[in-house]
Amino acid sequence: MAQINVNNLTFYYEGSSDHIFENVSFSIDTDWKLGFIGRNGKGKTTFLNLLLGKYEYTGSISMNTVFDYFPYRIKSEYLDLPAAEFVEELKLGCEQWRIICELDKLGLDAEVLYRPFDTLSLGERTKVMLAVLFSGENDFLLIDEPTNHLDQESREMVKAYLAKKKGFILVSHDRDLLDACIDHVLVLNRHSIEVQSGNFSSWWENKSRKDAFAQMENEKHRKEIVKLRAASERTRRWADKNESTKIGFDPVKEPDRCKGTRAYIGAKTKKMQSRVKQMEVRIHQEIEEKEGLLQDIENPVNLKMLPMNHYKKMLIMADHYGLKYTDAADVLFDGLNFDIYQGERVFLKGANGCGKSSLIKTILYKAADAEHGLCQTEYGGELYLAEEMDLTEKKRLAGEMSLSGEASLRESGTLRIASGLRISYINQDISFLHGSIKEFCKKRNLDESLFCAILRQLDMERVQFAKNIEDYSEGQKKKVLIAASLLTPAHLYIWDEPLNYIDVFSRMQIERLLLAYHPTMLVVEHDERFREKIATKTIEIKKKADEKQKTIRMK
């Protein structure tokens, strides 16, 4: 067992006025299973890079261990090669037999090492990289968001795998994953850093108790400040009034006064003024204590959204519906039956590659067609997504969805979309985001001040608004899309993996919002806890073409 000691760490990015870390000190053990928790943009990934020696900093980080980082950066020239040919480049000295042993624990056959990396699913790629990561000995591993974009089955496999390991820092916003895999937490609070034993739930319970106590103490301080200010003002008035009688008096009205009383009155006034100063010092101390109590409390503002009512109760209906890419041998899915009524929050569930995003893409395009009086439904026809089509309105609905000029989907069955349906869409892809907030809002006809207000409510600092969006953290980019969706009035909100990279506190904030406003939604999201709280209906899409795709489980 070794220790990593951080002393007076201070770091900020060149050209930025805000410190990521300032005089930070703490210690962690290298045999811990450490969960790293904090809001987006607070410096979790930055700290991992500091451990890797990528940035210069002031202060000290003393360590006697070797670090390795997940996810590995796969060079573009390696994508056409099997992983077996370049794993040595990822982890120096790793042995394939060790990787194969780790793959077996992850439920994968060794043959995935010998298939072109580009042909592997997201889940397979993640598992291969984790197997390489854990194939070494005595490394302290830095694992950054391992379950993003993974389906539920792959998440469960990764969760079970990590639960049996130790000696790592895990950055994740998945509450179930953190509860299952960690025995300590490293938390970036608003103005402090704390290290605590336990998992996410035990830390959150302790934090809730601490915050409740701080709120009570804060209320006590607030009342004390009010009393002290009233007493201070009263004493000041008495002192001022007494001071005014020091010089000059009416001998008829004040026969007991003489010139000799002037010194007495002056001393009395000085004493009263001293009491006023002492009270002001006490008020200042109480205010400092009050502010210190609340500096780390997470008290997010309640968000708002603008759901619209449609004249039809049923907005979407699928009857034995199926999709297949024309150049693919197998269908994505078929025989799918479901409907979406106003007020329902419908979640799509299924393995990676089963067609969830393709179904969403199809709904977006059909909704755009219906809005312009074009084909509302197709029966066994072919839906072309080629660039030569008139995509102006469709691109507006789909955000910046990248389309292949050759992409086309063949449909079977029926998919009906209500006409005049306004959709607010969050794409799972964030790579298209660039430029300033002002340019983003202008392009989408959003009120910039309201948009920035929502970002502030999602705990983004004002200093971020001066940066270009491409310089944001991944979580902050996702918040840009969420804020744009919340600001868009819509009958239906289609969110495709909206919570990837989003911090735990913002997830809870969004949960409260959706439960308060009851918008009609179609959502793809693999956060099991989020789905359990929000979903009114779950549609499971199974990938096998010969199985019936009807499984609808009511919450």
Share of the chain above pLDDT 70, in %: 82
More confident residue, 326 or 313: 313
**Is 90 exceeded by the pLDDT of residue 134?**
yes
Provide mean pLDDT across the span 98-121: 90
pLDDT at 154: 84
More confident residue, 283 or 111: 111
Same domain, 359 and 213: no
Average pLDDT value for the chain: 82
Task: Specify if 112 maps to a domain.
Answer: yes
Beta strands in 292-437 (DSSP E): 314-325, 333-341, 345-349, 382-384, 408-417, 423-426
**Is 70 exceeded by the pLDDT of residue 381?**
no
In what helix (H) or strand (E) does residue 8 lie, and over which residues does it extend?
Answer: strand 3-11
More confident residue, 181 or 154: 181
Confidence band for 108, pLDDT divided at 50, 70 and 90: confident
Q: What pLDDT, in 10s, does the model give residues 4-32?
A: 999 999 998 876 667 788 888 999 999 99
**Is 70 exceeded by the pLDDT of residue 126?**
yes
Same domain, 491 and 518: yes
pLDDT at 207: 87
Same domain, 271 and 188: no
- Using alpha carbons, list the distances in angstroms from residue 293 to 176, 221, 286: 29, 10, 11
Domain end (from 151, 173, 204): 204
Same domain, 168 and 274: no
Same domain, 23 and 80: yes
Which DSSP string do the residues of 252-283 spell out, in sequence order?
TT-TT--TTHHHHHHHHHHHHHHHHHHHHHHH
Classified as helix, coil or strand, 404 is coil
**Is 70 exceeded by the pLDDT of residue 382?**
no
pLDDT at 292: 58
pLDDT at 439: 94
**Is 70 exceeded by the pLDDT of residue 320?**
yes
Task: Decide if 57 contacts 11 (C-beta within 8 A).
Answer: yes
**Is 50 exceeded by the pLDDT of residue 418?**
yes
Task: Specify if 366 maps to a domain.
Answer: yes
pLDDT at 408: 75
Provide mean pLDDT across the span 378-391: 34
> What's the number of domains the chain is made of?
3
Supply the pTM of this predicted model. Answer: 0.75
Q: What pLDDT, in 10s, does the model give residues 225-251?
A: 777 777 777 777 776 776 666 555 555
Q: What pLDDT, in 10s, does the model give residues 444-491?
A: 899 999 999 999 999 888 888 989 999 998 899 999 999 999 999 999
Same domain, 356 and 401: yes
Confidence band for 307, pLDDT divided at 50, 70 and 90: very high
Same domain, 11 and 130: yes
Question: Which residues make beta-bridge pairs with 186?
Answer: 36, 195
Same domain, 59 and 128: yes
**Is 60 exceeded by the pLDDT of residue 378?**
no
Measured between alpha carbons, how far is 301 from 283 in angstroms, rounded to an integer? 28
**Is 50 exceeded by the pLDDT of residue 34?**
yes
- Encoding tokens for residue 70? 């997940």
Same domain, 335 and 410: yes
Confidence band for 394, pLDDT divided at 50, 70 and 90: very low
Task: Decide if 476 contacts 48 (C-beta within 8 A).
Answer: no
pLDDT at 399: 40
Residue 187 belongs to domain with CATH number: 3.40.50.300
Task: Specify if 453 maps to a domain.
Answer: no
Task: Specify if 443 maps to a domain.
Answer: no
Share of the chain above pLDDT 90, in %: 47
Confidence band for 99, pLDDT divided at 50, 70 and 90: very high
pLDDT at 1: 64
Same domain, 161 and 239: no
Q: What pLDDT, in 10s, does the model give residues 164-218?
A: 999 999 999 999 999 999 999 999 887 788 899 999 999 999 988 888 887 887 7
**Is 60 exceeded by the pLDDT of residue 388?**
no
Domain end (from 161, 189, 204): 204
Provide mean pLDDT across the span 34-61: 90
More confident residue, 290 or 383: 290
Domain end (from 178, 204, 230): 204
Confidence band for 545, pLDDT divided at 50, 70 and 90: very low
Least confident piece of the model among 244-258, 316-330, 429-443: 244-258
Task: Specify if 463 maps to a domain.
Answer: no
Task: Specify if 435 maps to a domain.
Answer: no
**Is 80 exceeded by the pLDDT of residue 369?**
no
Closest CA relative to residue 350, chosen from 114, 176, 121:
121
pLDDT at 296: 58
Task: Specify if 452 maps to a domain.
Answer: no
Same domain, 248 and 366: no
pLDDT at 533: 94
Measured between alpha carbons, how far is 499 from 400 in angstroms, rounded to an integer? 18
pLDDT at 366: 85
Domain that includes residue 152, residue range: 3-204
pLDDT at 213: 83
Same domain, 47 and 186: yes
Measured between alpha carbons, how far is 370 from 417 in angstroms, rounded to an integer? 7
Task: Specify if 50 maps to a domain.
Answer: yes
- Burial (CB < 10 A; 0-12, 13-18, 19+), residue 256, is exposed
Confidence band for 401, pLDDT divided at 50, 70 and 90: very low
